[in-house]
């Protein structure tokens, strides 16, 4: 009975903090020396919050610089703070032969790209998500060890039903009796996406699971595990589909080969689009307040953002479920026994 109420309170708190952060941060780019302010650019604000960055921008008065780690054949390895790329008025400047333009670091003069290993906002969010998962599930594992044969307590009592749901309702039905071998990956996949989705809804957080590089990496892991685990029956179905006339195999073979790559591609795009679209919708509704400059519009958009946040909490869980379900389905198709086929 208390779960919907708790979710509502969480969504309300998230919405309140987003609006509060937006209201108390300058959005007009006004000249502090008394010059005329620039018009509010909603698309620039939205893209700035959705895309990755070399600094963590919470508000105009609260910016956290991040480490820049770059390598080039001309200058070797360089490590410095991203704050070096900005002066005291937060205008872009060159530093030590490097310049940051459109979130890409290049060499001054030649314009050559460098090998960028910087700790960007999304990389920092990745570390935060990984650290949070480590401490949470270490506590869950210790609880399971200490409470063996007893009722679960604390974090264990919260996460154990979710773990059992992933095992019994997602992985086991799609993989059969071989599921135990892949459970560590499936649980890691599910909770990494879930934690990343939920943390991404916090004000000022990075758009980790809405970054196509992250979703691509997850999809590549599923692709590699699927194809390296594939048995003889799996590959024979692709290259020599049983029960199909020989002329049709000419058509089916390229379709099957293309399907090997379209499956992980669909995983990558689905998660990326769903999370990024949700963030863009939320930010667009918040920006309406500053576009119209009306309190009525601000109150109305805040109410809508509240309900969109509730939906986004649901989407966060659904996307983790869907990605894990399709991954287990693809792997299950690769390892299942095909001896019943004729």
Query: Looking at the structure, do residues 168 and 147 belong to the same domain, yes or no?
Result: yes
Same domain, 301 and 286: yes
> Are both 195 and 92 inside the same structural domain?
no
Q: Is residue 23 part of a domain?
A: no
Specify if 6 maps to a domain: no
Query: Residue 145 phi/psi, 5° resolution?
Result: -70, -40
Residue 270: pLDDT band with limits 50, 70, 90 = very high
From 102, 118, 134, give the residue that closes a domain.
118
Q: For residues 99 and 106, is the Cβ–Cβ distance under 8 A? A: yes
Domain interval for residue 108: 67-118
The arithmetic mean of pLDDT across residues 67-93, rounded, is 87
Q: How many CB atoms are closer than 10 A to CB 323?
A: 25
* Displacement of CA 126 from its chain's centroid (Å): 9
Q: How far, in Å, CA of 302 to CA of 305, rounded? A: 5
Phi/psi at 209 (5° precision): -80, -5
| Same-domain status, 204 and 137 | yes
Q: What percent of the chain has pLDDT over 70?
A: 87
Q: What average pLDDT does the segment 152-167 reach?
A: 91
Number of compact structural domains in the chain: 2
Q: 175 with 199: CB under 8 angstroms?
A: no
pLDDT of residue 6: 43
The closest of 51, 52, 85 to 68, measured between CA atoms, is 85
Does the residue 57 lie in any domain?
Answer: no
> Quick one: pLDDT band at residue 338, thresholds 50, 70, 90?
low
Identify the pLDDT of residue 30: 41
Q: What is the pLDDT of residue 163?
A: 94
Question: Is the per-residue pLDDT at 13 higher than 90?
Answer: no
The CA radius of gyration of the chain, in Å to the nearest whole number, is: 24
Q: Are residues 98 and 174 in the same domain?
A: no
Domain match, 83 and 207 both: no
Task: For CA atoms 11, 16, 19, 22, give the dihedral sign.
Answer: negative
Q: Tell me: the pLDDT tens digits for 277-330?
A: 998 988 888 888 878 877 888 788 888 888 888 899 999 999 999 999 999 999
Q: Which of 38-52, 162-176, 214-228, 230-244 has the lowest mean pLDDT?
A: 38-52
In a domain, residue 141? The reply is yes
CB 126 within 8 A of CB 218: no
Tens digit of pLDDT for each residue in 86-105?
887 778 888 888 988 888 89
Q: 17-21, 131-135, 173-177, 268-272: which range is least confident on average? A: 17-21
State residue 33's pLDDT score: 43
Band (pLDDT 50/70/90 cuts) for residue 32 is very low
Q: What is the spatial distance between Cα 127 and Cα 135, in angstroms, rounded to a whole number?
A: 12
User: Is a pLDDT exceeding 90 seen at residue 245?
Assistant: no
Q: Answer whether 281's CB lies under 8 Å from 308's CB.
A: yes
pLDDT of amino acid 38: 66
Based on the domain organization, do 89 and 134 belong to the same domain? no
Which of 118, 136, 160 terminates a domain? The answer is 118
Q: How would residue 194 be classed by pLDDT, with cut points 50, 70 and 90?
A: very high
Strand pairing class (98-101; 76-81) = unpaired
**Average pLDDT over the chain, rounded to whole?**
83
User: Is residue 197 over pLDDT 50?
Assistant: yes
Task: Kindly state the average pLDDT of the residues 126-142.
Answer: 94
In a domain, 33, yes or no: no
Is the residue at 44 inside a domain? no
């Amino acid at each position: 009975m208390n779960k919907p109420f708790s979710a509502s309170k969480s969504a309300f708190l998230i919405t309140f903090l987003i609006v509060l952060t937006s209201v108390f941060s300058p959005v007009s780019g006004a000249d502090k020396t008394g010059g005329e302010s620039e018009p509010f650019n909603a698309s620039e604000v939205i893209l700035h919050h959705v895309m990755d960055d070399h600094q963590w921008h919470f508000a105009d008065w609260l910016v956290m610089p991040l480490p820049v780690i770059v390598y080039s054949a001309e200058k070797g390895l360089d490590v410095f703070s991203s704050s070096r790329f900005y002066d005291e008025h937060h205008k872009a400047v060159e530093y030590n032969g490097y310049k940051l333009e459109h979130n890409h670091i290049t060499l001054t003069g030649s314009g050559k790209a460098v090998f960028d290993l910087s700790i960007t906002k999304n990389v920092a969010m990745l570390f935060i998500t990984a650290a949070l998962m480590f401490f949470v599930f270490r506590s869950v594992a210790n609880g399971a060890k200490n409470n063996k044969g007893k009722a679960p307590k604390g974090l264990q009592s919260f996460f154990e039903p979710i773990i059992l749901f992933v095992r019994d309702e997602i992985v086991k039905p799609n993989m059969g009796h071989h599921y135990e071998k892949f459970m560590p990956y499936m649980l890691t996949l599910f909770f990494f996406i879930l934690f990343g989705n939920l943390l991404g809804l916090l004000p000022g957080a990075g758009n980790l699971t809405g970054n196509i590089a992250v979703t691509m990496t997850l999809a590549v892991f599923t692709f590699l595990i699927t194809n390296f685990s594939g048995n003889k029956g799996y590959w024979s179905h692709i290259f020599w589909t049983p029960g199909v006339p020989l002329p049709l195999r000419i058509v089916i073979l390229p379709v099957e080969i293309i399907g090997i790559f379209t499956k992980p591609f669909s995983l990558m795009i689905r998660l990326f689009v769903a999370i990024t679209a949700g963030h863009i919708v939320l930010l667009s509704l918040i920006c309406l307040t500053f576009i119209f400059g009306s309190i009525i519009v601000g109150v109305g958009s805040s109410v809508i953002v509240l309900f969109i946040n509730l939906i986004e909490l649901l989407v966060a869980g659904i996307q983790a479920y869907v990605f894990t379900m399709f991954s287990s389905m693809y792997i299950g198709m690769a390892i299942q026994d095909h001896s019943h086929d004729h």
